[in-house]
Amino acid sequence: MSTIKVNSIIPVSGVPTGGGGGIIQIKQTVKTDTFSLATNDVVTDITGLSVTITPTSSSSKIFVSCTWEHSSNDGNSFAMFFLRRTLSGTTSNLCFGDARGSSERCTRSHMRVTSLEAKCSNIEFLDSPSTTSQITYKLGMRNNHTGTILVGGTSATDDDNRTSTPSVITVREVSA
């Protein structure tokens, strides 16, 4: 004879109203190849580093986490990264600093990244999209100095002094 003891059982749709915080669903994308970007003046989405989720309730929140490593082939690089959300055909940047003169409002940045020095970055953000429509979360970047930024390890030649690393974006629907 078997005995099962639990403190509580939470339905697939999440915890009851007023008892928020239950994870309803989790989606993840793991990007194992690299992405490179030469100097540009616009935010460019990192190909393959996006994840799509359709919330079950408009009161749900979406917890987004993203981790990536990047380097450059030039010591005069300035990489800016942007957590982005696409909803109903409109893309918005999320989680960025306050306006301050002509400073770039971004999620993460690294200046003077070199080919022998990989920088690891991550972001965690709790979004309140208030929708049951499909949402795509992604990471974008901008490189406004010389050189090329590489996401997914260290750049330059491929040898045993370089790395190849995964980039991961995960979203969790959290009941309100």
Please check whether residue 149 is in contact with residue 143, taking contact to mean a CB–CB distance below 8 angstroms: yes
For residue 29, give Cα distances in angstroms to 64, 96, 116.
12, 23, 27
* Better-predicted residue by pLDDT, 151 or 174: 174
Q: Is this model's pTM higher than 0.95 or not?
A: no
Residue indicated by tokens 């450059």? 72
Q: What is the mean pLDDT of residues 60-77?
A: 85
13: left (phi over 0), alpha (psi -120 to 50) or beta: alpha
